[in-house]
């Protein structure tokens, strides 16, 4: 008869092996449960990279490499909104962000830029910096912006920084009032291309209709994908014991990637290429209404073409003489000035004791809206401030003691432009023309009445 030998060491080893096997099984089970999350993250990253590569706002893209004016929030709080003129640049993966590049002649504080490049040449010995400084200097001399010799330009670290562009980040879109492409800025070739563009929108071909249909289909599917993604991540989170924070981050990333597919708005889609009425929180913070042709829309912006866009102007006269620096726009300029010619003139000026009389004449090619006439402490508003070309308005003022009073006139001019408004500042509130179906039904009704 065999005697059983009790070996504690062997029993302990067997227990350890069984425990390790159990742990391995748990680990593999946990990894398998997390596998869908890993796959989801990888797919989300790949989708995000693909979409990021092509994601430029489809409205902003219309003005790519065009000369535009950006009307922006009053940064320095001096009561005047900022205005930037330059070429609009749109990098890949910008999602509505963009940059306004000034022209060479419009760079702010170019003296410091030239001095900085000269210093870089002295520091590095690389001639490319000196050549760049000379090139900028010569261009600015031709423009009359510099009257100092090149060799006398010294670097001053305490002077104002130079500025050659304005960057608008996605978070800054809310501070934009308008991005405006004036017809005055367009060449004959560009005007012709614009007319062809509008014709294609108004009478789209089969290929354009197909592309638009595909884009709209993807936009409509987007919301469904967002909802499905949310359900999928929450289901996997319940199946696998993962951190709620990780689950939220995965869902957030996936929805962000899907959200870049596009936007669809039925009430805007049926007005593309047609005259619309737009309600705008304008540059001067007054709510106004505009007419124009709806060109495109996105999650961030709407583009409306052929808009009568107002510009605030100021003219100051001593008697009937316009001061040299006027007219000028009531804006903080960056990289630009319109350099408009004289719009109004004073004629039949007469000062008799403390009584002043004169006529204001519109010598502009278009309508002018005169907001007020200021003489000393007196403000005059006109009954009919809308001046047609050539129109004359008579002004009489009593109690003007100054022998040579300054006459300050605040007014608006109109320039035809294509405008991009942020959705936070503008909304299409209706059509500007009856629909074709309505016109056809009215014509049929008239024909039946005639019969």
Q: What is the pLDDT of residues 99-120, one digit of tens each?
A: 999 988 888 899 999 999 999 9
**Bridge partners (DSSP) listed for residue 304:** 294, 419
**What pLDDT does residue 69 have?**
93
Q: Where are the beta strands (DSSP E) in 21-62?
A: none
pLDDT digits (tens, 9 = 90+) for 273-313: 899 999 999 988 889 999 999 999 988 999 999 999 999 99
pLDDT digits (tens, 9 = 90+) for 382-400: 989 999 999 999 999 988 8
Provide the pLDDT confidence category of residue 232 given band limits of 50, 70 and 90. Answer: low
**pLDDT higher than threshold 90 for residue 240:** no
**What pLDDT does residue 217 have?**
53
**What pLDDT does residue 107 have?**
87
Compute the average pLDDT of residues 412-438: 88
Q: Contact, 89 vs 131, CB < 8 A?
A: no
**pLDDT higher than threshold 70 for residue 445:** no
Question: Between 168 and 1, where is the model more confident?
Answer: 168
Compute the average pLDDT of residues 12-30: 67
Q: Contact, 290 vs 280, CB < 8 A?
A: yes
CB contact set of 69 (below 8 Å; sequence gap of 6+)? 83, 84, 85, 179, 180, 181, 182, 336
**pLDDT higher than threshold 50 for residue 439:** no
**pLDDT higher than threshold 80 for residue 234:** no
Compute the average pLDDT of residues 426-439: 78
Compute the average pLDDT of residues 12-24: 67
The DSSP code sequence of 317-346 is: EETTEEPTT-SEESSEEES--------EEE
Provide, rounded to the nearest whole percent, the portion of the chain with pLDDT above 90. 42
Compute the average pLDDT of residues 161-179: 93
Q: Contact, 297 vs 59, CB < 8 A?
A: yes
Provide the pLDDT confidence category of residue 24 given band limits of 50, 70 and 90. Answer: low
**What pLDDT does residue 222 have?**
54
**What pLDDT does residue 47 have?**
53
**pLDDT higher than threshold 70 for residue 9:** no
**What pLDDT does residue 211 have?**
55
78 burial via Cβ count (<10 Å: 0-12, 13-18, 19+): exposed
**pLDDT higher than threshold 90 for residue 224:** no
25 burial via Cβ count (<10 Å: 0-12, 13-18, 19+): exposed
Q: How far is CA 448 from the centre of its chain?
A: 50
Provide the pLDDT confidence category of residue 2 given band limits of 50, 70 and 90. Answer: very low
Question: Between 113 and 257, where is the model more confident?
Answer: 113
**What pLDDT does residue 359 have?**
95
pLDDT digits (tens, 9 = 90+) for 322-363: 999 899 998 888 876 677 899 999 999 998 888 899 999 999
Handedness of CA 419, 423, 426, 430 (dihedral sign): positive
Q: Cα–Cα distance between 309 and 291 in angstroms, integer?
A: 10
Compute the average pLDDT of residues 20-44: 63
What are the residue ranges of helices labelled H in 143-292? 188-202, 206-239, 244-259, 266-269
pTM assigned to the model: 0.73
Q: Contact, 387 vs 315, CB < 8 A?
A: no
pLDDT digits (tens, 9 = 90+) for 195-213: 888 787 766 655 555 555 5
258 burial via Cβ count (<10 Å: 0-12, 13-18, 19+): buried
Handedness of CA 158, 159, 165, 167 (dihedral sign): positive
Q: Where are the domains of the chain?
A: 68-178
How many CA atoms, within 13 angstroms, populate the side-chain half-sphere of residue 35?
A: 7
**What pLDDT does residue 403 have?**
84
Compute the average pLDDT of residues 164-181: 94
């Amino acid at each position: 008869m065999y005697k059983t030998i009790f070996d504690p060491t062997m029993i302990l080893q067997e227990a350890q092996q069984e425990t390790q096997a159990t742990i391995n099984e748990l680990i593999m089970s946990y990894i398998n449960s997390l596998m869908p999350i890993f796959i989801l993250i990888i797919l989300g990253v790949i989708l995000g990279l693909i979409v990021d590569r092509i994601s430029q706002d489809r409205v902003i893209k219309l003005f790519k490499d065009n000369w535009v004016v950006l009307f922006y929030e009053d940064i320095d709080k001096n009561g005047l909104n900022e205005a930037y003129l330059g070429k609009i640049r749109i990098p890949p993966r910008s999602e509505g962000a963009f940059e306004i590049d000034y022209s060479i002649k419009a760079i702010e504080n170019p003296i410091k830029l030239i001095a900085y490049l000269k210093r870089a040449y002295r520091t590095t010995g690389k001639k490319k910096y000196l050549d760049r400084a000379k090139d900028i200097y010569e261009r600015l001399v031709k423009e009359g912006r510099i009257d100092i010799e090149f060799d006398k330009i010294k670097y001053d670290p305490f002077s104002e920084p130079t500025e050659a562009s304005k960057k608008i980040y996605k978070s800054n879109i809310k501070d934009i009032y308008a991005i405006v492409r004036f017809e005055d800025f367009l060449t004959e070739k560009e005007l012709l291309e614009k007319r062809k563009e509008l014709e294609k929108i108004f009478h789209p071909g089969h290929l354009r209709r197909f592309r638009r249909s595909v884009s709209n289909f993807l936009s409509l599917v987007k919301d469904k994908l967002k909802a499905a993604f949310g359900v999928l991540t929450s289901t996997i989170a319940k199946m696998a014991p993962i951190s709620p924070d990780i689950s939220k981050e995965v869902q957030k990333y996936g929805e962000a990637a899907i959200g870049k597919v596009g936007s669809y708005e039925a009430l805007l889609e049926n007005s593309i290429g047609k005259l619309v009425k737009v309600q705008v929180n304008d540059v001067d913070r007054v709510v106004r209404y505009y007419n124009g042709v709806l060109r495109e829309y996105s999650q961030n912006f709407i583009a409306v073409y052929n808009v009568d866009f107002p510009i605030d102007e100021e003219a100051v006269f001593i008697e009937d003489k316009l001061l040299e620096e006027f007219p000028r726009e009531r804006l903080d300029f960056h990289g630009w000035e319109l350099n408009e010619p004289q719009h109004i003139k004073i004629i039949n000026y007469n000062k008799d004791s403390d009584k002043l009389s004169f006529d204001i004449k519109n010598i502009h090619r278009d309508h002018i809206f005169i907001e007020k006439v200021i003489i000393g402490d007196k403000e005059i508003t006109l009954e009919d401030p809308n001046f047609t070309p050539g129109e004359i308005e008579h002004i009489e003022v009593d109690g003007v003691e100054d022998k040579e009073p300054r006459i300050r006139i605040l007014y608006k001019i109109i320039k035809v432009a294509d405008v991009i408004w942020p959705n936070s500042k503008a909304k299409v509130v209706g059509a500007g023309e009856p629909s074709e179906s309505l016109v056809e039904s009215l014509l049929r009704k008239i024909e039946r009445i005639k019969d």
